[in-house]
Structure 1
Amino acid sequence: GSTMDPSFLLVFPLLLALSTPCNACDCKIQHPQTYYCTSDVVILADIQGPGNNTVTKQGFRINVLKAPKGTPRFHEIYSLISWKDCGYKLRTTQQSQLLIAGYLRGGTLHFTRCHLVYFWYRLTREQRLGFEAAYRTGCKCQVQPCLFCWRPCPQPDFRECVWRQQDCKYKIWEGNHSLYSVCAPSMDGPCEWTHIQMNYQYQTSAPATSIH
């Protein structure tokens, strides 16, 4: 019979790690555009306090200030109760102007610490415009992190941009790709990094298309 390529055995654990970003709540940071494009809903909201709980989920009462993606008609959002399962915990009785990227289940909005939960004021001006308009122009593209610094980054295919951070560290956003850029189709067709232009009129009427 055929034997398995031994190189696959080396790659297989990595595939498992990348496919389960919330394993033991070891969350791998994504590019902000990836959070936008792969989420069902992105909202800017105030968390006003605890809401209704279920057996496994805790609710938070929210006031949605705006919805860069999806509908703003939510008054409650849910996360897992268990901290080890990446449940979100309020550090104060309420939190203001949080950017939250979540997913829909049965018409309710859910999120974990592996989804984006970030203070709006900490974003760069370009990232804010990215969530409001620019990132949706790149949802047909995929952002691929360069994970191995000891060898050259892979060459992107037609629908990819290679995301580079210094020393291949992906704990926080830093550098031009993360803080100031969008990966979007170029005039010639292939996806490429472009600087988010503050005075450019990005199309805001068309809904984003998920890459999944």
Structure 2
Amino acid sequence: MLSIKGVLYTLTVLILWRADQLVDACSCAPVHPQQAFCNADIVIRAKVVGEKEVDTGNDIYGNPIKRIQYDVKQIKMFKGPDQDIQTIFTAPVSAVCGVTLDTSGKKEYLISGKAEADGKMHVTLCDYITPWESMSSTQKKSLTQRYQMGCECKIVRCPSLPCAISAPEECLWTDLMMEKQVYGSQANEYACVKRGDGSCSWYRGVAPPKKEFLDIEDP
């Protein structure tokens, strides 16, 4: 039978272990699809057709660094190098932001990520990765027509009310507060576009904004 001292010691160990687990967990703030596009080095539409664990060198202690390599079939590149992306790398587990993708080759994804020094593409749970079929028609069109126009703008998330922009080049993202969901109408149907006077404003619609909107119109 454990003594009181033994019980306290066991509880302390469990608490410390749990705290260590929480520290190791991956945590990401949600981003508007446009902001994700602007922040990414590479944005593609692709199918994942294979997966394997690979060694990518050693850490400072000489231990092998494991990563998951996804083999992909690129359908379209929206942003990135002038060459097809054939492999994508991610961490081996979700606790360190590793991404799990369907490797059957039947599911299409929009995948955004970073380009590494050697030209390889790396993705994490903090990157915007979503099934292509779940995207709105406006989002799909914006990948080639509108998001790039707003990359000099800043989309500011409203975490609680009241909230407001602090500069004219900001657009206030209120989906969470107004619609009680992270990806609501502003994420699905709007882009934050820079206007002629240097300010930024939400614009809704599939077609590129008219010149008149960029000069004088309200959204």
Question: Which interval holds the TM-score relative to the shorter structure?
Answer: 0.7 to 0.9
- Structure 1 equivalent of residue 94 of structure 2: 83
- Runs of 5+ unmatched residues, structure 2: 1-22, 56-64, 211-219
Partner of 1:173: 183
Taking a change above 3 Å as real, the CA distance of residues 145 and 170 of structure 1, as seen in their structure-2 partners, is farther
Q: After TM superposition, which residue ranges in structure 1, 4 or more long, deviate above 4 angstroms?
A: 168-171
* C-alpha separation in 1, matches of 2:172 and 2:209: 25
TM-score (norm 2): 0.73
Match of 1:32 in 2: 33
CA RMSD of aligned residues (A): 2.3
After superposition, the Cα gap between the structure-2 partners of 1:23 and 1:183, relative to the gap in structure 1 and judged at 3 Å, is farther
Offset of 1:92 from its aligned partner?
A: 5.2
Q: Is the 8 A contact 2:47 2:109 kept in 1?
A: yes
Larger Rg: 2
- State the distance in 2 between where 1:170 and 1:112 align: 25
**Equivalent-residue separation in structure 1 for 2:24 and 2:188 (angstroms):** 27
Matching residue of 1:49? 50
Determine which of 79, 87, 98 is the counterpart of 2:109. 98
8 Å Cα contact 1:48-1:60 kept in structure 2: yes
Distance in 2 (alpha carbons) for counterparts of 1:102 and 1:155: 28
- Mapped contact 2:159–2:177 kept (Cα < 8 A): no
Higher helix share: 2
Q: How many angstroms apart in 1 are the aligned matches of 2:179 and 2:125?
A: 19
Task: Give the distance between the partners of 1:90 and 1:129, measured in 2 at CA.
Answer: 24
Cα distance per residue 1:112-152 (max 9 Å; x no partner)? 11111101111111111111221000000010001122xx2
- For this pair of structures, how many residues does the alignment match? 177
Q: TM-score, with normalisation over the residues of structure 1?
A: 0.75
